Amino acid sequence: MSAFAQPVQRPGLTTGAFFFASLLALAVGVLAFARAQSARPAPAQAAVTWPAGQQVAYSAHADKHPEAADIHRCLQDKGPYQTWTNGVDWFFLCQLADGRWGTLIADKEGDLFYENTAYVKGDGGWNRVIAWLRDACRATRFVSG
């Protein structure tokens, strides 16, 4: 038999053991990611109640957007004009004093909404906001009932 026809022994893990080790590492990574996602930071202030009865805990992250305070005030004074959801995120729309549409995005746990952020999408025009909700967010209008 020539040297080219002889099987070569590779040192280290066999293919099956390597696959199992890779699968185990993936599972540990997924669990660590899930735990990090569930560790919700404390709200920036106590939850507030909007006119329609929603309880919302605002986040400090939203304050990075200059219009966030106006969106909070609009929702606290008038409540959301419309509510949309994609099954995970909730989108609350409110028309600001300058005519633009602001959006507060939140997660829901039990009866409490936890704000992720609040801002005006693009130019704040109604058609742009609705297209963004449908196309990018895959959201549909929520109607309680």
Is the entire prediction scored with pTM above 0.85?
A: no
Q: What is the mean pLDDT of each run of 10 residues along the chain (145 residues)?
A: 58 62 63 52 69 88 91 94 96 97 95 94 96 97 83
| 8 A C-beta contact, residue 53 and residue 79 | no
Q: Are residues 52 and 32 in the same domain?
A: no
Q: Are residues 35 and 82 in the same domain?
A: no
Query: Tokens 């280290």 correspond to what residue?
Result: 12
Contacts of residue 70, defined as CB under 8 A and 6 or more positions apart, other chains included, come to 96, 97, 102
Q: Are residues 52 and 100 in the same domain?
A: yes
Q: Which domain holds residue 95?
A: 48-142
The single-letter code of the amino acid at 113 is: F
Contacts of residue 110, defined as CB under 8 A and 6 or more positions apart, other chains included, come to none
Q: Are residues 61 and 131 in the same domain?
A: yes
Q: Are residues 62 and 112 in the same domain?
A: yes
Q: Are residues 119 and 92 in the same domain?
A: yes
Assess if residue 7 is contained within a domain.
no
Assess if residue 73 is contained within a domain.
yes
User: Which pLDDT does position 43 carry in this prediction?
Assistant: 57
Q: Are residues 24 and 79 in the same domain?
A: no
User: Which pLDDT does position 25 carry in this prediction?
Assistant: 67
CA distances from residue 63 to 72, 80, 94, 118, 140 in whole angstroms, order as listed: 10, 19, 17, 8, 26
User: Which pLDDT does position 121 carry in this prediction?
Assistant: 96
User: Which pLDDT does position 101 carry in this prediction?
Assistant: 98
Number of domains in the chain: 2
User: Which pLDDT does position 31 carry in this prediction?
Assistant: 55
